[in-house]
Amino acid sequence: METGAVFEVYLLPGEYFVGDARYRIRTVLGSCVSITLWHRRLRIGAMSHFLLSERESGPDAEPAAGLSGRYGNDAMQLMVAQLQERGVLVRECEAKVFGGGTMFPSIEAGRQPGIGHRNGMAAEKLLSEYGVPVVSESLFGIGHRHILFDVATGDVWVRQGEKGGA
């Protein structure tokens, strides 16, 4: 059996990607969070790289010009819509969640909870609301993470980067 070419996709902050078994998706996370969704039978997956859990509300908030992968709740909606276009029900997927690290411990020490922690908690809440089981996670702590998601197998490799000083 011939194995076709594997395509690598690198996600920048605010991006997401949905693809089949031909793809591997990479990113580097600090306080941002990635949610991976994978359908075992169809070998279709999605991955986000969001910066904030949700848009700010109130009089100073910028108006929404549509959904944006910069925000966790928007990224999830965008991924779910593209999965549905490919015949995938999100409840049939399994999820893995990564990131939410503290990047500047000495600066963020007084802030409770920090942006990374809020992002991680929001990801877990979103997945619960969508009824998607979380099978693995690597959240919080100090420093960045390198993430590689192989859509063919559903495997996600995580390498924790150097931890910052306190």
pTM attached to this predicted model: 0.88
Range of the domain at 136: 8-54+66-160
Predicted confidence (pLDDT) at residue 61 exceeds the cutoff of 70: no
Total structural domains within the chain: 1
Rounded Cα gap, residues 129 and 33, in angstroms: 17
- pLDDT digit string, tens, across residues 71-103: 999 999 999 999 999 999 999 999 999 999 988
The answer to the question of residue 26 being in a domain is yes
CATH number of the domain at 145, please.
3.30.1330.200
pLDDT score recorded for residue 165: 44
- pLDDT digit string, tens, across residues 104-140: 777 666 667 788 999 999 999 999 999 999 999 999 9
In Å, how far are 12, 13, 65, 69 from 48, measured between CA atoms? 9, 9, 19, 7
Rounded Cα gap, residues 4 and 112, in angstroms: 48
The answer to the question of residue 2 being in a domain is no
pLDDT score recorded for residue 48: 98
